[in-house]
């Protein structure tokens, strides 16, 4: 895979700031990517994952941060897009030292990046980060339940747009049973969906099958099962050319970030095949909405706001269908329009 260097990304993809962090004493190698702060300070999770090389860590941070910009814009939030990754195994014995060193780098950005939980990090980790960074999300709660709620709202809306039916009897294949994936399965089964599940770890598969009555399938087959909906809830880039060639599902809607290995190209191919795809930065925005509510202190209408992802999905699919364009192209255009309306204002540079 070819990775984009920070220098190229800042010019070609309009990144405001990319920080490569090293602390040899702590063993830290991490990246903080701030894509756009037109709408407000960037907010995004701290991902901890062992990458094959430093370039892969940079590429992941860049892709995730850019998606956060679009996610915030489409959700109507006063936030920008950012993300950070720590290139380390989440089970590393020096985990606390890594998080502490990374937190100090975040603090040096003076509020331009607000961290939250992500793959490989927990609410407890963010409590530790909060000892060094004044403004931190995900200290009070894990936003996973809101992410799951939004994903199911997107699935429900997509099915209603094309088939005018409920989720009862709809067959859904869920790939990945982490915090969000397990909750998605629970919500789907409660609405009567028939759910197939898979994960690289057999333990959560067994637990979810016992809890919900879902059906376990091999990890190599889950994306190409004969189902209505494919719902990736693990790592990104899982919808590839080979997977697309074998895809039987009519819908691709998941919680994972950057589901498409090649977003513009594969999004067009999905549209041409008549596969309804809700971009991840639309479907999984519930977690970001919850994080924004936490830092702003406004939870009164949070559930309704997350359910609004269904309305956004409906409007997106209607427009994409009418214009015969991919949902990714239309969603990015809508997000960019909101950013352009505010572009005359200076980007957010916090002083406190």
Q: What is the pLDDT of residues 318-348, one digit of tens each?
A: 999 999 999 999 999 999 999 998 876 655 5
Contacts 24+ apart (CB under 8 A), 331-338: 331/70, 331/74, 331/279, 331/281, 331/282, 332/70, 334/73, 334/74, 335/69, 335/70, 335/73, 335/74, 335/281, 336/73, 338/39, 338/73, 338/74, 338/76
Q: Tens of pLDDT along 126-183?
A: 999 999 999 999 888 899 999 999 999 999 999 999 888 899 999 999 999 999 999 9
What whole-number distance in Å separates Cα of residue 191 and Cα of residue 116?
A: 30
Q: What is the pTM of this model?
A: 0.90
Considering the domain architecture, whether residues 119 and 42 belong to the same structural domain is answered as yes
From 323, 322, 292, 319, select the one nearest 305 (Cα to Cα): 292
Asked if the structure places residue 341 within a domain, the reply is no
Considering the domain architecture, whether residues 89 and 112 belong to the same structural domain is answered as yes
Q: Tens of pLDDT along 243-300?
A: 999 999 999 999 999 999 988 899 999 999 999 999 999 999 999 999 999 988 877 7
Which parts of the chain fold into alpha helices (H)? 6-12, 54-74, 95-107, 123-129, 144-163, 179-190, 202-212, 241-246, 263-273, 280-283, 286-296, 302-323, 327-342
Asked if the structure places residue 167 within a domain, the reply is yes
- Cα R_g (the chain), whole angstroms: 19
Asked if the structure places residue 346 within a domain, the reply is no
Considering the domain architecture, whether residues 193 and 316 belong to the same structural domain is answered as yes
Considering the domain architecture, whether residues 162 and 106 belong to the same structural domain is answered as no
Q: Is 135 exposed, middle or buried (0-12, 13-18, 19+ CB in 10 A)?
A: middle
Considering the domain architecture, whether residues 155 and 102 belong to the same structural domain is answered as no
Considering the domain architecture, whether residues 179 and 257 belong to the same structural domain is answered as yes
Residues 6+ apart with CB under 8 A from 298: none
- The pair of structure tokens assigned to 72 is 């915030």
Q: What is the 3-state secondary structure (H, E, C) of 70-101?
A: HHHHHCCCCCEEEEEEEECCCCCCCHHHHHHH
Considering the domain architecture, whether residues 231 and 108 belong to the same structural domain is answered as no
Considering the domain architecture, whether residues 163 and 32 belong to the same structural domain is answered as no
Residue 154: domain span: 144-336
Considering the domain architecture, whether residues 192 and 49 belong to the same structural domain is answered as no
Asked if the structure places residue 112 within a domain, the reply is yes
From 201, 289, 273, 12, select the one nearest 252 (Cα to Cα): 273
Asked if the structure places residue 59 within a domain, the reply is yes
Q: Which one-letter DSSP state was computed for residue 224?
A: G
Active site residue 83: yes
Asked if the structure places residue 348 within a domain, the reply is no
CATH code assigned at 297: 3.40.50.720
Cα–Cα distance list, 256 to 37, 92, 177, 349 (Å): 23, 24, 11, 30
Considering the domain architecture, whether residues 181 and 286 belong to the same structural domain is answered as yes
**Strand-strand pairing, 28-36 and 251-252:** unpaired
CATH code assigned at 33: 3.40.50.10860
Asked if the structure places residue 259 within a domain, the reply is yes
Asked if the structure places residue 137 within a domain, the reply is no
Q: Which of 83, 102, 156, 250 is catalytic?
A: 83
Q: Tens of pLDDT along 209-258?
A: 999 999 999 999 999 999 999 999 999 999 999 999 999 999 999 999 99
Tell me how many domains the chain contains: 2
Q: How confident is the model at residue 107 (pLDDT cuts 50, 70, 90)?
A: very high
Considering the domain architecture, whether residues 187 and 323 belong to the same structural domain is answered as yes
Give mean pLDDT, residues 66-92. Answer: 96
Considering the domain architecture, whether residues 224 and 327 belong to the same structural domain is answered as yes
What whole-number distance in Å separates Cα of residue 14 and Cα of residue 181?
A: 32
What whole-number distance in Å separates Cα of residue 103 and Cα of residue 121?
A: 13
């Amino acid at each position: 895979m070819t990775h984009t260097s920070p220098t190229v990304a800042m010019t070609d993809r309009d990144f405001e700031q990319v920080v490569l962090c090293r602390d040899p004493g702590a063993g830290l190698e991490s990246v903080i990517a701030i894509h756009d702060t037109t709408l407000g300070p960037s907010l995004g999770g701290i991902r901890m994952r062992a990458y094959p090389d430093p370039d892969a860590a940079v590429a992941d941070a860049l892709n995730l941060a850019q998606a956060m910009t679009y996610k915030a814009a489409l959700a109507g939030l006063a936030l920008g897009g950012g993300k950070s990754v720590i290139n380390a195994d989440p089970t590393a014995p020096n985990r606390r030292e890594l998080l502490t060193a990374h937190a100090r780098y975040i603090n040096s950005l003076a509020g331009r990046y607000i961290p939250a939980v992500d793959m490989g990090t927990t609410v407890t980790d963010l409590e530790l980060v909060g000892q060094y960074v004044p403004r931190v999300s995900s200290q009070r709660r894990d936003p996973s339940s809101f992410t799951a709620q939004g994903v199911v709202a997107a699935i429900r809306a997509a099915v209603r747009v094309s088939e005018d039916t409920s989720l009862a009897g709809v067959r859904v294949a869920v790939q990945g049973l982490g915090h969000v994936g397990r909750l998605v399965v629970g919500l789907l089964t409660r609405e009567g969906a028939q759910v197939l599940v898979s994960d690289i770890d057999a333990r959560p598969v067994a637990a979810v099958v016992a809890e919900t009555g879902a059906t376990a399938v091999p990890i190599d087959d889950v994306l190409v099962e004969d189902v209505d909906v494919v719902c990736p809830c693990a790592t990104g880039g899982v919808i590839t050319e080979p997977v697309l060639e074998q895809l039987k599902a009519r819908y691709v809607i998941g919680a994972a970030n950057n589901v498409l290995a090649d977003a513009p190209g594969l999004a067009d191919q999905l549209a041409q095949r008549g596969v309804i795809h809700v971009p991840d930065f639309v479907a999984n925005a519930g977690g970001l909405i919850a994080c924004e509510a936490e830092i702003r202190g406004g939870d009164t209408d949070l559930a309704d706001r997350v359910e609004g992802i269904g309305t956004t999905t409906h409007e997106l699919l209607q427009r994409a269908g009418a214009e015969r364009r991919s949902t990714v192209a239309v969603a990015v255009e809508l997000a960019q329009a909101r950013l352009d309306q505010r572009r005359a204002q200076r980007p957010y540079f916090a002083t406190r």
